[in-house]
Copies of this chain bind each other. A is one copy, B any other.
Amino acid sequence: MKILITGFEPFGDYKVNPSAIVAERVAKDVLAEDINIDTFYAILPVSFKRARELLEKLFNEYKPDIHIALGLRPGASFIAVERVAINIMDSRIPDNDGYQPIDEPIDPQGPPAYFSTLPIKAIVRKLRESGIPATISNSAGTYLCNYIMYLSLHNSARFGIPKRAGFIHIPLPPEDAVNRRDLSIGIPPSMSIDLAVKAIKIAVKTAVEYFNKPDERVPP
């Protein structure tokens, strides 16, 4: 089973993107731990144009069975397993190439949305049973995260690569949160990289376990 794990490079005023660190560590750890899982990771540029190009290249060359895309969700206190990607780009800030699409479709011919084909309910259940704050999220936003999730599911629907795809958001790491300040809550929530790595390893293994069976049907 071939699994692609992607993270993103830094953007905005986030000097480090924990999704890149976690993608690399999880890919390497799982590769070393499980002989049946062949992992591969990539750090996507925060560029609508270049991220799409790299993603298509990865799909064509590597032909992953599963794609788990990771991204940063500042302000979250939990792992957010995304349920759905929507066919829109609507950016609060320009991407790292200076491109800022406003209310444009990702693919004018594409469907309005795709639901994740990862076992999102099983992943959340296993994370919570492991003591890791996690929840289903119903929006991956309208920036690069939602875009990559949509593109991956769009490629899957049209070409069968990957066979399963989805997106998981991780919180700020403590070393970044420490320098920020929310009016309501003081320093915003964070999650240590170690715990995020543990979480995404569980997600990867759960995606493999449920590859050929339906997701659990439990309340969100």
Q: Looking at the complex, which one of B111, B132, B192 makes contact with A195 (CB distance below 8 Å)?
A: B192
Give A103 to B116 CA distance when docked, in angstroms.
12
Q: Is B135 a contact of A91 with CB atoms below 8 Å? A: no
Q: Given A78-B187, A113-B112, are A219 and B141 neighbors across the interface (CB < 8 Å)?
A: no
Q: Is A184 a contact of B174 with CB atoms below 8 Å? A: no
Give the chain B neighbours of A155 by CB distance below 8 A: none
Classify the secondary structure of A's interface with B: loop
Q: Looking at the complex, which one of B100, B103, B139, B188 makes contact with A183 (CB distance below 8 Å)?
A: B188
Question: Which of A112, A121, A138, A189 has most B Cβ within 10 Å?
Answer: A189
- Whether, in the assembled complex, A168 has its beta carbon less than 8 Å from a beta carbon of chain B, the answer is no
Give the chain B neighbours of A131 by CB distance below 8 A: 173-175, 178
Number of residues in A with C-beta < 8 Å to the partner?
A: 60
Q: Is B174 a contact of A191 with CB atoms below 8 Å? A: yes
Q: Is A138 a contact of B141 with CB atoms below 8 Å? A: yes
Give the chain B neighbours of A141 by CB distance below 8 A: 138
Give A92 to B175 CA distance when docked, in angstroms.
21
- Whether, in the assembled complex, A95 has its beta carbon less than 8 Å from a beta carbon of chain B, the answer is no
Q: Given A90-B220, A131-B178, are A186 and B78 neighbors across the interface (CB < 8 Å)?
A: yes
Give the chain B neighbours of A180 by CB distance below 8 A: 183
In the complex, residue of chain B having the shortest beta-carbon distance to the beta carbon of A177: B133
A interface, CB within 8 angstroms of B: 74-78, 83-84, 86-88, 90-92, 100, 102-103, 111-115, 121, 128, 131-139, 141-142, 172-175, 177-180, 182-192, 194-195, 215, 217-220
